[in-house]
A and B are shown apart, each in its own frame.
Chain A
């Protein structure tokens, strides 16, 4: 991915040299043309065409914003409830993710979802211990959310 972005920048600079005008607009035109060339030549790289990955990152960002809104609404409902009938608890979650930044991203996203908080990461980086604010009703819904997050992160890193 990094190599493709570097190549795209190099093509944009070459375009500026060919046009012999060094302005932002020329650079942008060169960048778009370089993107087109990379799209045509994408079979020659050993990783995916990097625009798909950029789209996946944008998708992850949108999921994150949506979850932030939902989590704050859920906490607001809990706070305004006259009777507090919740059952807090801690459960374990197995992850398929491996590299450090993926696990960090997943942990932070889980912490920002409604009613869950990452407490601890196991020593082999495979199990997250999560504190849930209401363990009886949320457990299944949470598993769904986690799967969607894990899928989105795998989309970015694959």
Chain B
């Protein structure tokens, strides 16, 4: 039996944008407030799962042509890259550097290399979650 999903799809088209923006907010708030790479990644995959529920797997694959296994690899590379960076300056492994810079638009901002590590965590979480869900969803 095929049901008419028009209301669900229309609501999804609006809500997904809000979830993605909130995921980015949580990701960037992670240094001083609750949040960070893991929760941000889970929220992002939650938005993609909502799309998968409202539309078909085929449609979502066509509109988001992302290879999630490659995403895991890139995330791990980010994390390892921050570790390797500490060898260049003769400090212990995974030592992070930070400083205050005056940026246009943002004003005085502290830039921290832990953000790069967090991007790695984020990409790994999104990739792993979506790989699991897609693998379960496609196999009949």
- Residue-by-residue, is A1-13 near B (CB-CB < 8 Å gives 1, otherwise 0)? 0000000000000
CA gap between A120 and B7 in the complex, in Å:
10
Evaluate contact between A104 and B3: CB separation under 8 angstroms: no
Stretch at the interface among A51-59, A84-92, A121-129: A121-129
Nearest-CB residue, chain A, relative to B11:
A104
Distance between Cα atoms of A39 and B6 in the complex (Å): 36
Residues on A with beta carbons closer than 8 Å to the beta carbon of B10: 100-101, 103-104
How would residues 1 to 44 of chain B score, 1 for a CB under 8 Å from any chain A CB and 0 otherwise?
A: 01110110111000000000000000000000000000000000
Is A142 interfacial (CB-CB < 8 Å)? no
Interchain nearest-CB distance for A101 vs B (Å): 5
Let me know if A135 is at the binding interface, CB within 8 A.
no
Q: How far is the CA of A135 from the CA of B140 in the complex (A)?
A: 44
Q: Is the interface of B mostly helix, strand, loop or mixed?
A: helix
Chain B residues with Cβ under 8 A from A107's Cβ?
A: 7
Whether A125 contacts B6 by the Cβ 8 Å rule is yes
Which residues of B are found within 8 Å of A100, using beta-carbon distances?
A: 6, 9-10
User: Using Cβ atoms and an 8 Å threshold, which residues of chain A touch B11?
Assistant: 104
User: B4 to A122, Cβ gap below 8 A?
Assistant: yes
Chain B residues with Cβ below 8 Å from A108 are 7
Closest to A104 in B: B10
> In the bound complex, how far is the Cα of B11 from the Cα of A31, in angstroms?
31
Interfacial chain B residues near A122, Cβ < 8 Å: 4
Chain B residue with Cβ nearest A128: B7
Contacts from A to B (Cβ < 8 Å): 100-101, 103-104, 107-108, 118, 120-123, 125
17 A-B contact pairs sorted by A residue (CB < 8 Å)? A100-B9, A100-B10, A103-B6, A103-B7, A103-B10, A104-B7, A104-B10, A104-B11, A107-B7, A108-B7, A118-B7, A120-B4, A121-B4, A121-B7, A122-B4, A123-B4, A125-B4
Q: Given A103-B10, A104-B11, 14 more contacts at CB 8 Å? A: A100-B6, A100-B9, A100-B10, A101-B10, A104-B6, A104-B7, A104-B10, A120-B3, A121-B4, A121-B7, A123-B2, A123-B4, A125-B4, A125-B6
Closest 4 CB pairs of A and B: A104-B10, A100-B10, A121-B4, A104-B7
